[in-house]
Structure 1
Amino acid sequence: MTGEQKSLIVATMTEYINTVNSLVSDAANGISISKYTTADVKANLPSALTNQCIRDAKSIVKKYNKACRDADRKNDKLAKQGKNITVTATLPVLKKTCCYVNNQNFKINGDYIEFPVMVNGKSKRLSVKTKMSDRQKSVFANSKLGTMRIVYKGNKIVAQVVYETIEPTYTTEGNVMGVDLGVKCPAVSYISDGSVKFYGNGRKNKYMRRHYRCLRKKLQKAKHIDAVKRINDKEQRIMKDIDHKLSHDVVETAVAHNVKTIKLERLANIRSTTRTSRKNNHSLHNWSFYRLAQFIEYKAK
């Protein structure tokens, strides 16, 4: 990507966000945008992106109107209870610089992505060279593509492309493994052949978390902000490494027992259903159940 191309893309993303926010603000002030077309919107954007702005704004307004109705119902309920409290819905404002391009208006050709931008007041297709792996090229070449989102990741501009994929089929042959996640014991596997195995040391993990938490408190009192960040990063690296090792052991056990399917417990509300205490309360709310589940999933695949 050249410097000129980057400037054009950044200008497009900025104009896109400003246009969406402007449309949402108009709708919140009583102007109907339900029948808006590109002719009704003044934006320095190609018509394809202006159309996408209108669709995004309508979606945001729909959610905002629902939030307003919910707030009104809550206020009526509070008034009946004699409580002098008012609940209000907040108008959403997009802050992250980005833009969306639907699948009819961009094209992936080898290492290049083509999509429209405005150049000197006229719509022009920009062909940007990207960094794509061979697997990504294969996926994009053989899949039905959806919307593309262009966004900043750090100091890089990244294109995120939605695509359709066929769900893998799973055989019913072989054993089935169930995996439960927890704090005292990070993971327990139950296999249909009757074997049970415990993984990791929850007490050791909690001790490390308490240790680093105490270090951060001392450094915060001394106002050593950089040291606090270093300690926090070190703790995260250690815990991530532990999750890698645990997930590896789980999958190795599955292979050794001819397991064909691994079933993970649902993680929704896991923190509210896990027994809490003064000692493990902090650990519980900083425990990455989801990350360990993700590691098990991708290693199994």
Structure 2
Amino acid sequence: MNAHRNADALTVADGRNVLTMARDYPQPPSAVWAALTEPAALSQWFPFQVDLDPRPGGTIAFGAPVSEVPLTTGTVTAVAPRRLFAFNWGADHLSWTVTADGEGSRLTLEHTFDDRAGAPSFAAGWDLCMAALGRLLDGGPVEQRRDGGESHDAYVHLFGLDRGTVTAVGDTRTVRFERQLVGAAERVWETLAGGIEPVPGLPVPVGFTDRDVPAGHVTEVRPPHFLSYEWTDGGTVTWDLREGTGYGARLVLTQTGPKSFDTDAALAAWHTRIEDLAARLRGR
């Protein structure tokens, strides 16, 4: 992880998540500002083609390069020439600030959004975009590169999104992990199943289990998205692969148990298991 990425941060303000990222460029603020606000330049390093009216209240439209119809539109919320450019993008808000840094510039992004588990995908994507901006400013080719998952999962750990939670309702304890994965649900399912399709009433394929969690029989299965099984005293383990970001499926793993349930051991066991799955999905 480079020094820039170590300084990136995920915080909460007014109940929403705020991703803050800053990058330094040797060019003056005027050059960075032009690349940020001129559609022809912005469209080269931004995730979509962009058309905009750079005034507060103006419309900003995002579309695919080959389409004349915008995929989404937003509204410019603030403009301070050569310093601040902010706009809504769907339910999200992006604020870009340009400041002088010696003979060069610093560009700071504040991305405000609701989907906390999606933060690593957003951060990894912006990391690539801001690197592409650097290549554009240097006058070089601005090909869009892809993240194989290493940057994404580095942000998972940096933001502490690899940790599970414990809740208690009456005499029931629940351990829960929510993790954005790098891989579609079909690929995740194949990796977990290992060629053995789960069947209700039969033992659970080992990929869905952990050696520290005694596994019973499959109770419900809907490939490639959902599997649940018994583990002890009426407790259950559930693997739920939901729609996630563009990186792949969103895993929600839960384990429920009685009041005596050793939740600390479960947190440690499933953390290790999910890290192993993530590494396999990255191809390691």
Normalised TM-score (structure 1) = 0.24
Looking at secondary structure, tell me which structure has more strand per residue: 2
Normalised TM-score (structure 2) = 0.25
**Bigger Rg, structure 1 or 2:** 1
Looking at secondary structure, tell me which structure has more helix per residue: 1
